[in-house]
Amino acid sequence: MRQAIVEYLRDLQDRICRGLEEVDGKARFREDLWDRPGGGGGRTRVLMNGGVFEKAGVNFSDVHGEFSEEFARQIPGEGRHFTAVGISLVLHPRSPMVPTVHANFRFLTKGEKEWFGGGADLTPYYPYREDVIHFHRVWKRVCERHAPVIDYRRLKEWCDEYFFLAHRGEARGVGGIFFDYLEGDIPRLFAFVREAGDAFLEAYVPIVERRRHEAYGERERMFQEFRRGRYVEFNLIYDRGTVFGLKTGGRTESILMSLPPVVRWLYDYHPEPGSREAELYEFLKPRDWANET
């Protein structure tokens, strides 16, 4: 089963990269193959300065080894030996009208325990209801085809809870689905993960196509760079994948490929009341997007 998961995730990386290159229309992914000291390695693929994407990363890794004693105590399962295979992607478009998106799907083992983790979430800079509704409806359909093993509402709420910047008191984006330590019937769970991985382009590409030609100016670009700062804060403070990679001796360039290329922090910034920038903060409040009309 693990080998089937490895092969699926490696193929998923290929298919997503091909789809994104077609959407971008200008740039291609650069591939770096790397080996991890202690066991395993991966394929990092990054696209820079494209027609749509300012920076896009789609990574595959398959690693194994020994956790440190300290980190092993934080992960379920006996002993220190682990295996981890996964795909992780973050796409930062140039246009502030096109949202940033993140997704990852992974399978881990430690001792006798084995589980899946992952999900997908959307981080818009300017609010478009139809885009957010579309994104959530795709994931709802995927989850409902695997009920009752998969509970869409729980995964949606889990995403809202996880992608929250406690120190800011605000969500990173408009959510999606998130799951971790999903264990039990591994073949049935793998069927769900496969369908979720296959649905990524369907969930995101139509949004890109709708917004890629929207006009924007310096004001919108400034706000995008400001909101990207929140993305950086989350990834460096809370993100489990970042922590896992750094704690297990992963390749730093691959781990931090999720960070946007241009960011700004503004002191005590507040959007103008009634502006589109202010409206975004209403979208960041959790809602049942998939059932809105």
Task: Give catalytic residue positions.
Answer: 102
SS3 135: helix
Query: Are the C-beta atoms of 45 and 13 separated by less than 8 Å?
Result: yes
Q: Which residues of 242-280 are buried (b: 16+ CB within 10 A; e: fewer)?
A: bbbbeebebbeebbebbbbeebeeeeeeeeeeeeebeeb
Q: Where would I find the beta strands (DSSP E) of the chain?
A: 30-35, 40-48, 53-66, 81-93, 100-110, 113-123, 164-165, 170-171, 175-182
Query: Are the C-beta atoms of 152 and 177 separated by less than 8 Å?
Result: yes
Q: Which two tokens stand for residue 127?
A: 């609010």
